Structure 1
């Protein structure tokens, strides 16, 4: 029920920079499990209401007024990012079929340009030399996103799929930000766009081997990809339903094996999955299940050819020898009888297997140990018979903190493997490994203009102790001489503490050009790998979800206290940052320990979590029940979520300055969450610290599109962080 309160129904204004707009209060009652919650700002959900738009615009005006003094700094930081970035650049060409494929960026243009050139010598696997300023011989522009984006405030490319014969391009675009893509087809020989146009797709596309059919997905009313369709090129829009998943907990994906021999449909919830395969040379046939779904069992499938026979490699967390393989194991099965599975690589607790990739000559195992990614390779040419675990040799890395993974290996028959490598202080590298000799060839290092020297920075790992004794890994990067160094002259430094901690997502060390603008001004950057993420294996995730979710929040608070206790920083010099589910973390931390931070940056924050997860009509809600629990049907989950959900727990206390950012067209975390949260914070906070909302009126979950616009957004955030950490006065 709703009941307007006229006495509080003030019109939103921004008459003074010091006074935020006042949102009216409309009494809305929400009752579940005998508990009634009064929500006074639920009316902000209707974005077709002119008063809602007026409130968002007034909040934008308030935010702009309160950050106007940072305008020059924003311009300076934007200039720094721009000056360090090689604006006209080219990726290393990747081989696929008869062409080298690559992307270009050009100075002054917002978006990339996708290109290819023909392979002249089919026996030569060395890519053509990168040329930044001139096209490669025979260069063909497949798609210029700058042209596609003309006339639109927002642009996002969903799929860019080339048929196996190289003749056709299937691509999809989103010009609103709601992640509903329009799929189109282009004849690359003639440049002709076919009249076949398919709207409201999920973004991906997969070709059949004969290049006559494209498989794509559509979403249901709750934005869940639920149906796979087959489109016959040039046959109009009377497409065939190939697969439909009626269970609202399951999300459907579509693709093919690296060998291109099999098409694959994967349907999965957060805790259960099932894979269906079809021979790629039989695109109108029936997909068959590799293994029936079993509640709580996740698995993925890769095709491998070993000793002349076809096998499926199945990465799974099923029960083996009476124990659940929480950190996953790998089985192997003949393609013609997937049920005849035997163990290939056994389960090792603490070593989280993430994937196995099969090539003609290699098997590549990707896994995680000690909060870092690892890669091992088995060379099939050296193995007589079936490989065993001891045949996998780990790729060595010298740095203490690093990122490492397969990158850009498009061909199953590649004689060499490409890897992406990076760290907090080393720009990203793409190198090629000759597995037989161990020789590494650097193909490209991320260019950083202006004389960047990695020796001027350092990265390290420390461990904070949670209240329950759990050791929380902290990744730290700083300019040398800043912060704690053991000397008597060292002093607390401005510090940004970043966290996420959901969906088993791992945040690995990576280089950032924009971060240099912060580090060079004396700010220490710390990444807290809190529970709920995946850095420390499946148990790390399991102990930060559903009825253990509060560990995510207390881990972050304990990390902040550790940094203060060790002298790294002080509350007056520390800012917290997180986005999306990390925004939920920010909202919870703001309620738990507002005294620890001088500022909190929450991007597209999931702060009205309980209300959203109670509503199965909203995008993603039902599938999210495995992550958060089902408060709609379970009273215990309801009570637990209500005890931490940021919006419900805003109280009259002194909050630090808060900057919340959202997008009007976001379908993952609706703008309503940030808007309601900020309205309530502004009404109840007892401090004078400004609490601000910045809404992008033409964007989606990822924020603005276009690299220059994104740099402007990053400059806005960094300027505010520098102000709140006190770095501007250091």
Structure 2
């Protein structure tokens, strides 16, 4: 790409942040004025500049979009699952963006009942998302949440499934999810704080009554916690949960007694994390109690739930991270992570059976899927790898036989998974740790340093990005790209300690791990700095932003999507959504030690007069998680200080939030923009 049109130059207005005696100059602080004409004007100029600078790739974008779209089965449907006498199916129709939610009574041959048609509901909306569909125990009502802005402020509504009418009740500012009591009349739901969007209040609504008179059941007053409500799989208990990064707490109520009071399961203790499920006369607890860093399973009687009554069922193991537990009538199923790889372990309650479902790949993902039925011998799980399309598999725990219910179809006559290679390599980090990297590329390419390589990672909140198949990624692989997924610290790929080693005052390990992975891939001749690219979104955008300050010479181009780049300012502003709940992840900058450490890596605060890679930065104007002004300010400062002739492109979706455009095809257009940016830098025109 060559410079042509003059890039927008943002005005500068002097503003000084003062904290701990330290002053930070912020000439672009004015961009925080949402809906201000000057702010809108600047964003529109950036969008116009993006359009001009990429106009020569307009046809390429269209072609890439059509190519990726052509691989998708447009009239697709989910694998049906049975719940409370009905088979539930989500399907798509050809040419339409949104899902259609349906069910069939008793048998899959029964007449289809359409619960919600997202395409009809989305008409006239530039953004649309339906979430939290919850069916009443007698199957007659469905609650659901709607967001038409992208800011995750859902309006809760109820549909009468007998007459197909939506009730007039509308409850604003909710999470979209809700839970029915067993009386089919009482609905529990979570509301958000108007300003911070923190989920902080649980309400009880009775059908037919004025929602203005809904009863406040619980309020979470600690600003570092969020709250939520759900029902146990046994359908016996309603549960109010509260959680922060490091601590959880639950309250329980008999689902047959919605007018009763919730009772504390075990009061919060800082650093104690636990989750609960119910079976017969006991609760089962996945917890880090007793310094169980990688978690263990404990059990306690239903009438004695405090932690002094908990007993080990599955003891803690140093090398095995227990991620999840599914309870069935005759079995329980554990999702365990061993040396980075996911294992599904099946155990019978009588201890006569204990085995792992076998998998035979070097790098793959397997996890339990939709398992809403309790009295069944079938556990449903999903399996995928970087070369294998996702499969939905039913595994019979009694016979140990499996049935592939569905494998993702790739509508490309030239696609053959045998034409691609996936492997795992280990990169030495500067402190001696070994960082796993999952790789995929097309057979036949020469590993001589000339291949373009796209490296991705996330590395925050203990969230592990697992290696999985992507039909859109074939667009890059078929054009010679190598794709690398770096399992850096900050995630839990190698256990809980892997996360602990990449947060708070160890956060920089996340960034240096990514850089050291890049260097290792260059040393192995998978690519070279002239052909190396990095991509990350949200906290992964912070990763990319830190990396280009620390090692810009390693990358020809980077993509930062909805990037969290103004770390210090955001974490000091407790009016912004998510801030207070994240002190345990990033630290509280009101403490000078954390302030100084954050400032030392915050991408916005560390932009300097150096040469940066080519950059594409994207955001959503209605983003509630990373406010649009963070990338806007960052781009303006980069334009001001960078010393190179490389380009910076910045695009704001004025109709979307953190997750980008709604609709399966609109989101593909955003992917096509990203890919066109990379291909153009490589001189690939078609």
Q: Determine which of 327, 347, 363 is the counterpart of 1:378.
A: 347
Contact 2:449 2:522 in 1 (8 A): no
Q: Determine which of 229, 244, 249 is the counterpart of 1:254.
A: 229
Deviation at 1:82, TM superposition (A): 1.4
Deviation at 1:483, TM superposition (A): 4.3
* Deviation per residue, 1:648-675 (Å, 9 max, x gap): 0000001011111000000100000000
Partner of 1:600: 558
**Residue 208 (structure 1) aligned with residue 181 (structure 2):** yes
Contact 1:316 1:330 in 2 (8 A): yes
Alignment coverage as a number of residue pairs: 679
**Residue 239 (structure 1) aligned with residue 214 (structure 2):** yes
Partner of 1:44: 31
Partner of 1:9: none
Tell me the C-alpha RMSD between the 2 structures.
1.3
**Residue 615 (structure 1) aligned with residue 573 (structure 2):** yes
Give SS of 1:464's match.
strand
Q: Determine which of 35, 55, 64 is the counterpart of 1:68.
A: 55
Provide the C-alpha distance between the structure 2 equivalents of 1:623 and 1:727, rounded to a whole number of angstroms: 44
Alignment of structure 1 residues 435-450 onto 2, 5 Å: 435-450=397-412
Provide the C-alpha distance between the structure 2 equivalents of 1:501 and 1:450, rounded to a whole number of angstroms: 33
Q: Determine which of 341, 365, 372 is the counterpart of 1:403.
A: 365
Give SS of 2:606's match.
coil
TM-score normalised per structure 1: 0.92
**Residue 229 (structure 1) aligned with residue 203 (structure 2):** yes
Provide the C-alpha distance between the structure 2 equivalents of 1:236 and 1:224, rounded to a whole number of angstroms: 24
Deviation at 1:147, TM superposition (A): 1.1
Q: Determine which of 283, 288, 294 is the counterpart of 1:312.
A: 283
Contact 1:522 1:727 in 2 (8 A): no
**Residue 274 (structure 1) aligned with residue 236 (structure 2):** no
* Deviation per residue, 1:135-170 (Å, 9 max, x gap): x53101000011111111001112111111110010
Provide the C-alpha distance between the structure 1 equivalents of 2:668 and 2:616, rounded to a whole number of angstroms: 18
Deviation at 1:66, TM superposition (A): 1.3
* Deviation per residue, 1:34-53 (Å, 9 max, x gap): 10011000101112210110
Give SS of 1:728's match.
coil
Partner of 2:329: 360
Give SS of 2:604's match.
coil
Provide the C-alpha distance between the structure 2 equivalents of 1:667 and 1:444, rounded to a whole number of angstroms: 35
Deviation at 1:727, TM superposition (A): 6.2
Provide the C-alpha distance between the structure 2 equivalents of 1:678 and 1:704, rounded to a whole number of angstroms: 22
Q: Stretches of 4+ moved more than 3 A in 1?
A: none
Deviation at 1:101, TM superposition (A): 0.5
Provide the C-alpha distance between the structure 2 equivalents of 1:398 and 1:417, rounded to a whole number of angstroms: 19
Partner of 1:415: 377
**Residue 301 (structure 1) aligned with residue 259 (structure 2):** no
Contact 2:100 2:116 in 1 (8 A): yes
* Deviation per residue, 1:510-563 (Å, 9 max, x gap): 111100000000000000111001111111111100100000000001111111
Alignment of structure 1 residues 445-484 onto 2, 5 Å: 445-451=407-413, 452-484=415-447
Give SS of 1:648's match.
helix
Partner of 1:548: 506
Deviation at 1:729, TM superposition (A): 7.6
Alignment of structure 1 residues 85-96 onto 2, 5 Å: 85-96=72-83
Partner of 2:480: 522
Q: Determine which of 150, 166, 169 is the counterpart of 1:196.
A: 169
Deviation at 1:378, TM superposition (A): 1.2
Contact 1:494 1:727 in 2 (8 A): no
Alignment of structure 1 residues 154-193 onto 2, 5 Å: 154-193=127-166
Provide the C-alpha distance between the structure 1 equivalents of 2:424 and 2:446, rounded to a whole number of angstroms: 14
Deviation at 1:678, TM superposition (A): 0.3
Contact 2:87 2:105 in 1 (8 A): yes
Give SS of 1:653's match.
coil
**Residue 109 (structure 1) aligned with residue 96 (structure 2):** yes
Contact 2:60 2:685 in 1 (8 A): no
Give SS of 2:169's match.
strand
Deviation at 1:491, TM superposition (A): 4.6
Provide the C-alpha distance between the structure 1 equivalents of 2:359 and 2:339, rounded to a whole number of angstroms: 14
Deviation at 1:350, TM superposition (A): 2.3
* Deviation per residue, 1:250-284 (Å, 9 max, x gap): 01121111111111111011001101111111112
Alignment of structure 1 residues 583-662 onto 2, 5 Å: 583-632=541-590, 634-662=591-619
Deviation at 1:304, TM superposition (A): 1.9
Deviation at 1:17, TM superposition (A): 4.0
Deviation at 1:415, TM superposition (A): 3.0
Provide the C-alpha distance between the structure 1 equivalents of 2:49 and 2:645, rounded to a whole number of angstroms: 14
Partner of 1:132: none
* Deviation per residue, 1:115-151 (Å, 9 max, x gap): 001114xxxxxxx3xxxxxxx5310100001111111
Provide the C-alpha distance between the structure 1 equivalents of 2:546 and 2:449, rounded to a whole number of angstroms: 29
Provide the C-alpha distance between the structure 2 equivalents of 1:588 and 1:317, rounded to a whole number of angstroms: 32
Question: What are structure 1's unaligned runs of at least 5 residues?
Answer: 1-15, 121-127, 129-135, 485-489
Question: What are structure 2's unaligned runs of at least 5 residues?
Answer: none
Provide the C-alpha distance between the structure 2 equivalents of 1:727 and 1:87, rounded to a whole number of angstroms: 31
Q: Determine which of 505, 521, 524 is the counterpart of 1:563.
A: 521
**Residue 433 (structure 1) aligned with residue 391 (structure 2):** no
Contact 1:483 1:524 in 2 (8 A): no
